[in-house]
Chains A and B, each alone.
Chain A
Amino acid sequence: MMGETVKIRVDDRELEVQRGTLLIEACRAAGIEVPSFCYYPGLSLQAACRMCLVEIEKAPKLQTACTVPVTEGMIVRSNTEQVTQARRSMLEFLLGNHPLDCPVCDKGGECELQDMVFRYGASESRYGEAKRHVEEQQWSPVVYFDAPRCILCYRCVRVCDEGMGVGALSVVNRGVHTEIAPNHGDHLECEECGMCIDICPVGALTSGAYRYKARPWEMQYTSTICTHCGDGCKTTLSVRNNKILRGNNRDRSGINGEFLCIKGRYAYDFVEHPSRLRQPLIRRGRELVETTWEEAIGTVAAKWSEILARRNKAANNTLAETSEKRSEGFGVIGSNHTTNEENYLLQKFARTVLQTNHVDHHRTADYAALIHALANESAEQPSQAQRPPLARSKDIVGASAILLVGNNPTEQHPLIAWNIREACRLNGARLYIIHSRRIPLLRQSHRFLPLGLGHEADALRHLCGEPEATQALLGETPSGDNVTADLLNDFRNRLQEEKDVIVVFGDEITGPDVSLLIRMGSRLSGQTRYIALGDYSNSRGASDMGLLPHLLPGYRPVGDAAARAFFEDRWKSPIPATVGLSVDDMVAATLQGGMDALYVVGANPLKGRNPEDFCGKTFLVVQDLFLQETAQAADVVLPAASAYEKSGTVTNTCGELQRLRKAVGVLGTRTDLQIFASLAAAMGATLHPSQPEEALEEIRQMVPEYNIPLANVLAGGAEAVLNPNGFKPLAAPAETSGRVYSAQDTLFTSGTLGRFSNILNLVPERNIRKEPGPA
């Protein structure tokens, strides 16, 4: 998109910039200082703060650099006496009614107004009148508003309306009494994302969670990846005395820019929840009692070794005791939140030490089917496309069209929703939605195809041109929309014309439907790219690392002898060849007494069931943060560290690898990686490697798709993994065993972690917010 450039002159420097660039951007890109409060890249123009006034030759008075596009031959001066005087006088005006309560104000030390006054003067006040005073207001558990501190830059109003699409803030009154006001009189009803607080240049909007806790220079900052949903936002945790005080991404690094939702910004507080497990528990009789790590590890290792020995003996005497009840041996259920390294080692531990393929996790998106379908597709028609078929999250912003099938990104994938809104708002992208409900993103949509629950596959068939499917879609939907043939054809025709589509889909499309989706995508005019939406921070990583009963790391089928041989050679241990049991199958088998031992890491497969029913049915070891249903039924419970307490890497739902960094430590817990190593050691087995860095190195050797340049990742950036462009089609098709379903978390829930986040439970929207149902 290189347009023609123009030459301008700023402070006697020749600049060559693209025509139409705003003067303020041109100056800043060249390192020429032009201050502003209200100008904010990506938000609509205001020209309200008048800080960016500059002299432009031939203009009779000072001009705002934020509204003037550059033109050929423009001569600008930003350092004259008149300009500096204007800046100083604007600050003097601002400070007139601004309370000088910096010692109390939370923003002190990182306040843009402080910085500006320091830089441009006006530190001596000639204001001798009474200052306007209004009492501070609390708008929600996390948002406080102090009106006199507000400088009315309208950033909060715009980011809420334009960026979030919520529009919960507005302006009331006029003149010096102008104030920002929330949408419900004296309180907010919104997504509680805290973007308004983050974007506020002064201390007018402050966070209820961080309120009066510390000063910015007193804290250590650790940038890591949010451990809630699958979008993988970077969040910078501010830590003082081993306590996380706040989360934000003020430096706008990472894939999310400055965006964070309520979970990324506030829901770190589960870390120090009082019911956090801080000591291993062991079952004595009916009770779970606290014990030492040594005893817990020893007990587990001894029991597992005993089972292993019994099974080996049984395997040698297969002919002798066939009458004995068949047992499935070990079952291992992994987590959606643990790191790639831990997931990789857990399945390695299960497949080599415990000799089982009963390895699974709660699958929330069918990544395996997507990878296989894309691989088969590229085998059939080798494409000329330059770009990988799996889109990264930022690619959405640049796409000219987006097709959303199912899911509700506003609730489940806030960053994806933010990117979609940005694409529509800034780049005029057209959003096509196929959905059974009226989701909030309809506000941005170009075309909407409403349908009945579970008819997503019919819609795909209709788009592929199958008339029977078209018939199935006609009529009134439960959401109250009338679907006509015209609507369906119009949707198909419009979509057909699109050149650059990114398809975003949720758990509505799984198994064979994914192939259908790829077939539909390949019929569109340009190259189509895909994003599958999985629920949690490392859902994608769990799939990639082979926490699946039928696939080894990198989606190599366990049934494929060559793939198995490759891993057996490196792991120096045989791997069982049969496809294992899924989570549901393992739970069912346990209930019937068919599992010798079950090892659950960071998951709660018994959610919603009665733990009593499972007590004593198997030797159950649970490794988790909290005593949830599964842990309550366990024989041994091992307290694990959360994602904010360890290092490693995670892969987000778009396949972007990012680095976790340890922010705090919780006494008594150990990381999952440490626990695996101690268990293996206690069983007399070696489980190498034991450090996250070494584990990542092994992953890179074993899974070629993870063998990507790491410099960016180590520096806190993201790198896309598993690019199936040129991915070799696999001999065996992907078996579809086990369910794939989303937990349908909302903005205010987050599986187990959400239950133990006080802030998520505190915001009233959690209960009053309703899905936009039928009109």
Chain B
Amino acid sequence: MASILGGIVETVAALASGFKVTFRQMFRPTVTENYPDEAPNFQNRFRGLHVLQRDEAGLEKCVACFLCSAACPSNCIYIEAADNTAEQQISAGERYASVYNIDYNRCIFCGYCVEACPTDAITHGHEFELASYNVTDLIYRKERLLAQKTTTDQTAAGDPALSMPSGRNQSAS
């Protein structure tokens, strides 16, 4: 009897010891994210798809200095520059990027472009789903990279998640 009892106790003890981690975790907050059923969470420093930012006045911050493309180790940024005119003020500086392409076939998300940018125009957003059946879809044009014009100061507040590229939905479809 005693041996049976002793066996039960032993078994329970062994189970308790074996499930200790399991039971402890049961009462802790869940870490696993239910992606893709639920949206994933990112640290602020996560380097996702690039976002071309706008300033407080809604003008593009990029002045087409080409430093990002010069810094890019995989040579995936292509820019063409043009003058701002009195009729058409695109950026706050004298010039703006008339063409700004990032080739995501080649981008390695190293963040050098962000570091090189003298006007904080290019930043990493948190968008990351860019798989595509078509290689050419992975060349993002300026229109897709540019932050949306916001009436409030959301972009300036610095939450990159709020400044998704405007063209994202079309690309997913």
Contacts and interface: CB of A to CB of B under 8 A. Distances in A.
Do chains A and B make direct contact within the complex (CB under 8 angstroms)? yes
Nearest to B70: A217
A104 B65 contact: yes
Interface stretch (A208-216, A473-481, A758-766): A208-216
B67 interface: yes
A217 B75 CA distance: 13
B81 A212 contact: yes
A103 B70 contact: no
Interface in B96-138: 118-119
Contacts of A102: 65, 118
B83 A108 contact: no
A212 B66 contact: no
Contacts of A103: 63, 65, 67, 93, 118-119
B119 A213 contact: no
Most chain B beta-carbon neighbours within 10 Å: one of A211, A215, A217? A215
A124 interface: no
Contact size class for B?
Answer: 10 to 19
Interface string A195-233: 000000000000000011111011000000000000000
A735 interface: no
Contact of A104 (B70, B80, B82, B93): B93
Contact size class for A?
Answer: 10 to 19
Contacts of A212: 64, 81-83, 94-95
Given A211-B83, A212-B82, A213-B81, A101 B93 contact: yes
Contacts, number: 34
Given A212-B81, A212-B82, A104 B69 contact: no
A218 B65 CA distance: 11
Nearest to B91: A104
A178 B93 CA distance: 25
A108 B70 CA distance: 12
Interface string A117-141: 0000000000000000000100000
Interface in A79-111: 101-104, 108
B93 to A, nearest CB: 5
Interface in B52-76: 63-67, 69-70
Contacts of B94: 104, 136, 212
A238 B70 CA distance: 17
A218 B95 contact: no
Contacts of B64: 212
A104 B63 contact: yes
Nearest to B67: A103
Contact of A218 (B66, B82, B83): B66
Nearest to B62: A103
Contacts of B119: 103
B6 to A, nearest CB: 78
B82 A215 contact: no
Contacts of A211: 83
B124 to A, nearest CB: 20
A215 B118 CA distance: 15
Nearest to A240: B80
Nearest to B64: A212
A661 B52 CA distance: 40
A136 B94 CA distance: 10
A210 B18 CA distance: 74
Nearest to A136: B94
A208 to B, nearest CB: 10
Contacts of B82: 212
A599 B161 CA distance: 68
Contact of A215 (B63, B66, B83, B93): B66
Given A104-B63, A104-B95, A212-B81, A218 B118 contact: no
B48 to A, nearest CB: 25
Contacts of B65: 102-104, 108, 215
Nearest to A103: B65
A276 B14 CA distance: 90
Interface in A244-291: none
B69 to A, nearest CB: 7
Contacts of A136: 94
A130 to B, nearest CB: 19
Contacts of A104: 63, 65, 93-95
Given A103-B118, A218-B66, 7 more contacts: A102-B65, A104-B63, A108-B65, A136-B94, A211-B83, A212-B81, A212-B95
Interface of B: 63-67, 69-70, 80-83, 93-95, 118-119
10 contacts: A102-B65, A103-B65, A103-B67, A103-B93, A104-B63, A212-B81, A212-B83, A214-B80, A217-B66, A218-B66
* Closest 8 A/B residue pairs (Cβ): A103-B65, A212-B95, A215-B66, A103-B118, A104-B93, A212-B81, A104-B63, A104-B94
